[in-house]
Structure 1
Amino acid sequence: MAAAANGLGDFIAQTGGQPEVVFERIGVDPACLGDKRTALDLADYVAMMEEAARATRHDNFGLWFGQRYRPEMLGLIGEIALAAPTLGSAIEHLAQWFPWHQQATETRLARRGEFLRLEYRILDGSIVDRRQDAELTMGMFANVFRACLGPHWAPEAVLFEHARPAAWREHETAFDAEARWSQGTNALVFRDRGLSRPMPTGDLSRLQSLTSDLAAVAGSCGAPSFVDRLRGEIRRRLATGEVGIDEVAETLAIPSWTLQRRLAGHGATFSDLIEQTRRELARHYMAQVHLPLGDVAFLLGYSEPSAFSRAFTRWYGTSPRAWRRATAD
């Protein structure tokens, strides 16, 4: 929903950018931003956040925009969290309804041992550059906790699916917690404490009305195409080195032979998708000049930097080192 960009123009201006230039480059009508009942294409929204970071030369743009993003700015999904009777209920409703607010995403509340995790990730593998959105969303989620437990609440840790950025210590300052990088999903990690605390503006009848409104406005959770969803699952697993067709098929709840048959209908194979995903991500990681080539190879699922170098040369006709030198000039 366009409400996710509420206040974006002001923050771009405050950080030295020109909002109208950012919106024009992405092709977004600024008049719709902040409207809680207007839809905004997910790819356009994510691209807008990345362009804002470039235009302001503020690499941690999404991080700090998210820290100031209060739940009431979020439109219907923020109002739903604030209207829940307790913090635990607010987090459960956030996990359930956030994909209606931001379609083609996955949000889950999961337990890992003694900790809970509020997880978020974009399912569409065609959206490659999405770091700013992830950092913004983690800030949004943290501020739901703070609306109940006070401004100094901090998670035990915060997880990001993207690689560690250059100014990564700012993330630990912003969340007052350890930041972990190149994870399978983005998440706030927290203890099972304070979840029974009443939300200050809890209103059960209003909560029921708001969830009905969001369902009516959004229509559904949305979904990327079959191929783009597969690319998203491949991306999630690359750094683990476990990109097997059986594991991906199990995640999608279909037999592996069905996955292969459906891919054949698109004129592709599973290995084709792995190659395509690696190639797209290679340019993305190579542009982050603070990342050593060995780290890039690892993030793409290569056991040896030499294997990555050979693949990159095949894709782009030049070695990774030469590519970086040329793009830096």
Structure 2
Amino acid sequence: MGQDPATVIAGAGINPDLLRNPENSLSFIELDRLVQACVAATGCEHFGLLVGQRSTTASLGLVGRLMRTAPTLRDAILDLCTNQRRYVRGAVTYLVIQKDTAFWGYAIHHPGMKAIDQIGDGAMAAGFSFMKELVGAAPDEILISRRAPGNTAPYRLLFGSTPRFDAQQYAMAFPVSLLDRPVRSADRELRRILEKSVAAYWAVEQPSMTHTVARMLRARVIFPDISLEAVASELAMLPRTLNRRLQAEGKSFRELVNEARFEVARQLLAGTRMDVTDIALALGYANPSGFTHAFQRWSGVAPSEWRAS
């Protein structure tokens, strides 16, 4: 696009050499600054989409290699969901099944992010690329949790149809049956070797229980069942054990639910044109007044005032 990458990267306060080694890492705040700088320099409002569509599973390094050996699409997606939490601390990749529909989504839970629309667009473009590569199939629908940009042609060109903008989540929706489709490059023997390599690679650091539950809730807060029992079951522990682990870290399950709801509410109010009533329903409130009262407790102002400001 006619801009020098090193100049743009340095202008965002990041040493360009840091990006030369894939084993290095950026904080989510640095990523946020970098993406904003790229959009400002190029004037391209779908910059994140262009970055994401260049991604393949090879972009994911060791985890991508593991995905390519998976027996089914479900296994490949879970490879990413399971391992992503070990090196990405500001967002979560998730697989949620509702009746006959699977949602493979991406949610940012790091507070204060300004380039959520660009990063979310990139995640959907990357996920779309991963699905086509792994099983040769595309999702039925792309959900984009942002206002539609002025030019939606790049989205139609990539996805084959216009995504559903102003959605509750960034996700790809497709029939549950597609999860059982075999991965083209499945390799049982190589997978055994890679599973050991991945386990050894990430053995150094594990997320706290608070962080683990916060990620789970950010992904599931717009779905019906976010009870303590459901989360504990997914973590293979008793509800009272989960409560005790959280209390030892100075948090309660209810606090984490409220924090997840507040974060999603702000993202939907700022990034989409969803009505406050629809946001309330999406977050599990029976009526808008309950959501408004909760939001006022969290922020000090009503949702409509917060959005206007």
TM-score of the alignment, normalized to the shorter chain, above 0.5 = yes
Residue in 1 that maps onto 2:8: 18
Check if 1:66 corresponds to 2:66. Answer: no
The correspondence of residues 1-329 of structure 1 with structure 2, limited to 5 A, is 13=3, 18-22=8-12, 24=13, 28-36=14-22, 38-41=23-26, 43=28, 47=32, 51-52=36-37, 55=40, 58-78=44-64, 95-96=78-79, 100=83, 103=86, 119=104, 121=106, 125-126=109-110, 129=113, 132-144=118-130, 146=132, 155-158=138-141, 160=143, 163-167=145-149, 171-176=155-160, 179=163, 181-182=167-168, 186-187=171-172, 189=174, 218-220=201-203, 223-288=206-271, 290-325=273-308, 327=309
CA distance in 2 between partners of 1:324 and 1:241 (Å): 25
Displacement of 1:274 after TM fit?
2.3
Aligned letter for 1:256?
Answer: P
CA distance in 2 between partners of 1:196 and 1:311 (Å): 45
Q: Deviations over 1:244-269 (max 9, x none)?
A: 22122212221111122223223333
Residue in 2 that maps onto 1:6: none
CA contact (8 A) 1:157 1:177 kept: no
Displacement of 1:241 after TM fit?
4.2
Q: Deviations over 1:288-311 (max 9, x none)?
A: 253322233233332222222223
Displacement of 1:225 after TM fit?
2.2
CA contact (8 A) 1:138 1:186 kept: yes
Root-mean-square deviation (Å)? 4.6
CA distance in 2 between partners of 1:323 and 1:110 (Å): 32
| Secondary structure at the counterpart of residue 243 of structure 1 | coil
| Secondary structure at the counterpart of residue 301 of structure 1 | coil
Of 68-77 and 289-298, the range deviating more from structure 2 = 68-77
Displacement of 1:34 after TM fit?
4.4
CA contact (8 A) 1:286 1:324 kept: yes
Residue in 2 that maps onto 1:5: none
CA contact (8 A) 1:88 1:196 kept: yes
| Secondary structure at the counterpart of residue 242 of structure 1 | coil
Instruction: Report percent identity of matched pairs.
Output: 22
Displacement of 1:158 after TM fit?
4.5
For structure 2, the 5+ residue unaligned runs are none
Report the TM-score when normalising by structure 2: 0.68
CA distance in 2 between partners of 1:262 and 1:53 (Å): 41
Aligned letter for 2:265?
Answer: A
CA contact (8 A) 1:71 1:81 kept: yes
CA contact (8 A) 1:63 1:136 kept: yes
Change (3 A) 1:311 1:81: closer
| Secondary structure at the counterpart of residue 298 of structure 1 | helix
Q: Deviations over 1:40-72 (max 9, x none)?
A: 156357535653576456554322311123455
Q: Deviations over 1:163-185 (max 9, x none)?
A: 353239554542225746435x8
Report the TM-score when normalising by structure 1: 0.65
Q: Deviations over 1:168-210 (max 9, x none)?
A: 9554542225746435x844637759x67966xx999998887
